[in-house]
A = this chain, B = another copy of it.
């Protein structure tokens, strides 16, 4: 059973754009929107008119204070970015992402950043892969709703055409499980003085998070790793 991806708008600025995203989503058969820390609060009276009838998406949208909460139950997180970042994550097209999402089990989500600034590095860190819409390198000016349109359009195309073939046996663990495992390791490492000097701590933690997010371990694997950390913790 295919699960539609969840669209997560992170720190969106304008209600009008949230409405446009809802319209884009419903045009292509998606209805599950989450909103993280919208600048102008929620509900936003500007969202309705630009949704052009897709009010159901806005009404059902779930709002979160923090991205970590919004993705806690997600198995596959994709982050959209305009340009390549200095991160070692797979960069895929909307088409490839749609194909992956269609084939997999578990919940998938696509993160879209704020209109002006996009996703922050720490937000991209939560994702296993990056989606970049291939655009004219001499004129890259894709706005929020346009990016949502392309990604949702690609997903919808496959729902008619594609029959599922190779389905993963076990999806990646939910994000909350991954987070718990990373937190346990970080705590352990902190007790060893690993995060030294202090000014390097943030970037070292990012490196570790990216490295441990990349595998897409399933819940059994995550459990095994927590056992490993626990065993190593006994050394102390």
Which residues of chain B are near A165, meaning CB under 8 Å? 91
Which listed residue, B141, B161, B224, touches A208 by the CB 8 Å rule? B224
The answer on a CB contact under 8 Å between A139 and B90 is no
Which parts of A130-182 form the interface with B (CB within 8 Å)?
130, 132-137, 139-143, 146, 149-150, 153, 156-157, 160-166, 168-170
The answer on a CB contact under 8 Å between A188 and B92 is no
Given contacts A141-B53, A141-B54, A166-B92, whether A135 and B208 have CB atoms under 8 Å apart is no
The answer on a CB contact under 8 Å between A29 and B188 is no
Which parts of A44-98 form the interface with B (CB within 8 Å)?
52-54, 84, 88, 90-93, 95-96
Q: Is A1 an interface residue (CB 8 A)?
A: no
Q: Is A183 an interface residue (CB 8 A)?
A: no
Which residues of chain B are near A88, meaning CB under 8 Å? 169-170, 218, 220-221
Cα distance A215–B128 in the bound complex, in angstroms: 11
Which of A8-16, A103-111, A118-126, A226-234 interfaces with chain B? A226-234
The answer on a CB contact under 8 Å between B218 and A93 is no
Which residues of chain B are near A142, meaning CB under 8 Å? 27
Cα distance A134–B159 in the bound complex, in angstroms: 10
Which residues of chain B are near A54, meaning CB under 8 Å? 139, 141
Given contacts A149-B149, A149-B150, whether A162 and B189 have CB atoms under 8 Å apart is no
Which residues of chain B are near A27, meaning CB under 8 Å? 135-136, 139-142, 146
Given contacts A135-B161, A168-B90, whether A221 and B211 have CB atoms under 8 Å apart is yes
Additional pairs, 20, CB under 8 Å, beyond known A23-B141, A93-B166, A96-B166: A27-B146, A52-B141, A52-B143, A90-B168, A91-B165, A93-B163, A130-B164, A132-B164, A134-B160, A135-B156, A149-B149, A153-B153, A188-B235, A191-B235, A208-B224, A211-B221, A211-B225, A214-B216, A214-B217, A232-B235
